[in-house]
Amino acid sequence: MNTRGLMELIALNIGFELGILSDRVFTMLVIMALATTALTGPLLTWFGAQKSAEPDGQPHPART
């Protein structure tokens, strides 16, 4: 887990303990934090591979 995801979970826990967040909102935000943290690496890799491809769809020779 990256530091952004950890800070988000810490802030959510504090908000939940102070009674600012309901059980339902807390659960939704925790799931969102975990999902976005888990998907960040694979999506960046996938979009990076898409961006590095030549216009004809073949990868750049220096990057293979």
Residue 25 has pLDDT above 60, yes or no: yes
Average pLDDT of span 7-22: 95
Residue 9 has pLDDT above 80, yes or no: yes
Q: Find out whether 29 and 21 touch, Cβ atoms under 8 Å.
A: yes
> pTM for the whole thing?
0.66
Q: Convert the pLDDT of each residue in 47-57 to its tens digit.
A: 877 766 556 66
Q: Convert the pLDDT of each residue in 27-47 to its tens digit.
A: 999 999 999 888 888 888 888
Q: Cα(29)–Cα(33) distance, rounded to whole angstroms?
A: 6
* φ and ψ of 18, to 5 deg: -80, -5
